[in-house]
Amino acid sequence: MKCLILLVCVVLAESIHRVPLTKHKSMRQTLREQGVELPYQDPALKYQRGNEFVGSANMYINNYADTTYYGAISIGTPPQSFQVLFDTGSSNLWVDSVKCNTQACNTHTKFNPNLSSTFSANGKTFYLPYGAGSLSGTFAYDNVNVGGIVIDHQEIGLSTNEPGQNFVEAKFDGILGLAYPSISAGGQTPVVDNMMSQKLLNQNLFAFHLSRGGQQGSELSFGGVDSTKFQGPINWTPVTSESYWQIAVEGFRINDRLTGWCSGGCQAIVDTGTSQLTAPRQVYYDLMDAIGAVEYGYTGMYVVNCNEMNNLPTLHFVISGVSYPLPPSAYIQTHQEPGYQYCSVAIGATYLPSQSGQPLWILGDVFLREFYSVYDRADNRLGLATAV
């Protein structure tokens, strides 16, 4: 289910003001030759006093083909840089490590504990299954920098085994989970919980803006929202289970027709780590019929006539009395192959019910590209606004 990227951080001051024929290498250049990539940091940070500017951060994250949203963090002293998938559907932080020699690990940047003066091991092991792929590893502690916010003594997972091919082609070196601690493997304290307990945030929330069409410009904010990324009000709905970012869905419409599929209540998990939208299996085939989609062979992929895109229905989720429209441009993907193109439906089926037994939707990236999402841990609520 999970669709499971390298930022080259360029310090302009080095390139603009470098003295010709210098006899000494910069710290950044020396570390780069050792395989350690420092994330970009604002040179003006040295002027801050105390924690005056600590409390919020807007960090740009990468969009790979509308399937994966990931960005740079650093771990250790001196910092080692990694690309991680930011995932509201899980709670653990892990990265590839030098203790792992499978193909999946060997194609990514690995954390080396011996290069960090702030590293400490704790001896615990973990196993993490995902919708696609799994891994095992050991836990340890080190300092972690996320968007300029430094978390001291953060527990991290270091992979020791990533079997199979699922992570081989992944554009990231690990995953940073942003869900609740109750689903964290091994009892690991999530990054956001440590941000809160160490009082690093102005507000105990974070927010996502996901770009469309494979374009860049996605953003993850900690400690506040970015009002330039949405329009209109942020509408709030309570979290129904402090595990995933799970909320209630009161109704589901196809154009103006109320389906009744959620008349007895539905649940939805808001998940940045799932690329598609998924529908409960008991309504999935009816939804495909309503869209006019047909299965392509026996692949499980449903397709539509590309020329009929503008005639396809708009899907509406009703959440806390507010309707959230999903136009066909959001849930139909156009694929260009040599000599022809085809259009597929980016909606899958969810086969497990929610904890309450109600039908379960997963509002993945297909939904979240249309709506700016705010994850409020202080009041355990989720906010949605129209993305711009």
- For residue 181 the two structure tokens come to 């601690």
Dihedral sign from CA coordinates of 346, 168, 5, 218: positive
Please, what's the b/e burial string for 63-95 (b: 16 or more CB within 10 A of its CB; e: otherwise)?
Answer: bbebbbbbbbbbbbeebbbbbbbbbbbbbbbbb
Q: In what order do the strands lie in the sheet with 302-304?
A: 294-295, 302-304, 340-345, 332-337
C-beta of residue 370 within 8 angstroms of C-beta of residue 387: yes
* DSSP letter assigned to residue 217: -
Cis, peptide link before residue 78, omega less than 30° from 0: yes
Number of Cβ within 10 Å of residue 171's Cβ equals 17
Which of 372, 348, 362 is closest to 233 using CA atoms? 372
β-strands 68-75, 134-146: how paired?
antiparallel
For tokens 């003066």, the residue is 117
β-strands 360-363, 277-280: how paired?
antiparallel
β-strands 218-222, 57-64: how paired?
antiparallel
Active site residues: 87, 271
Residues in CB range of 18: below 8 A, 6 or more apart: none
Which of 277, 269, 262, 265 is closest to 246 using CA atoms? 269
